[in-house]
Amino acid sequence: MGALASAPAGSAIISAMKTLVVILSLLVTMATAGAAWQSDPSAPPPGLPTSAGIYLLVDSAEWIKLLPAPIEESQIKNTDVFLATAGQLPLNMTFAYSGGEAPFRTAESRPTFYIRGIEGAVDALIVRLSKQKDQRTARITSTDAGVGNKAGFRRKQIRPVSVVPISEGLFSVKPEAPLERGEYVLVFGSPNTAFDFGIDAARK
């Protein structure tokens, strides 16, 4: 009778031990994954969306996808002089993006953007915009165009970034220095491929 009575208890203990092993295995896996991410700062945090886009992790909890910045108007100046001098005098352009402020805003002064499936990611630049009442502008001049600044954004508007390849089709982009409060676009070689964001407060 004693042996028969102990059988169900033994089965319960074995079942509990199996469950404990599974739980411990999961904990080890999670800890290993977390350690791997922390030891490799170029690796994206868990949960990065798999579809193409520009992403930013907010407060270590929510992934935000940046939207393309709509161009409201563009102006070209000095075309005749530029052509007449065979490009010796500069060609100046102004691009105006709709709205006085970007819809997405962050208090992070050095945000890390993750770029998946976007062509020209290696040409990424952050450009500070001049804020107007109902639009934000970027100026381009032919004399500033060159390697690392194909479009020719004005140098004083450019904020240098670090571009780190993570895997095929996936890069991270981070400002080399904290961004001051203001309006910005993340561009990829052209003002037409721009994604806007705003910095509201300095938080390192």
How would you classify the pairing of strands 158-159 and 92-98? unpaired
Question: Of all helices (H) and strands (E), which one includes residue 9?
Answer: helix 2-39
| Tokens coding 45 | 């945090």
pLDDT, averaged per 10 consecutive residues of the chain (204 residues), comes to 51 53 39 36 78 90 92 83 69 90 93 90 91 90 82 91 91 95 93 93 60
Secondary structure class of 81 (helix, strand, coil): helix
DSSP, res 202: -
- How far is it, in rounded angstroms, from Cα 115 to Cα 164? 10
| Tokens coding 122 | 């290696």
pLDDT at 9: 54
pLDDT at 17: 54
Q: pTM of the predicted model, to two decimals?
A: 0.72
- How far is it, in rounded angstroms, from Cα 126 to Cα 173? 9
The answer to whether 131 touches 100, Cβ cutoff 8 Å, is yes
Q: Using the Cα atoms of residue 101, residue 104, residue 187 and residue 72 in order, give the sign of their dihedral.
A: negative
- How far is it, in rounded angstroms, from Cα 196 to Cα 68? 7
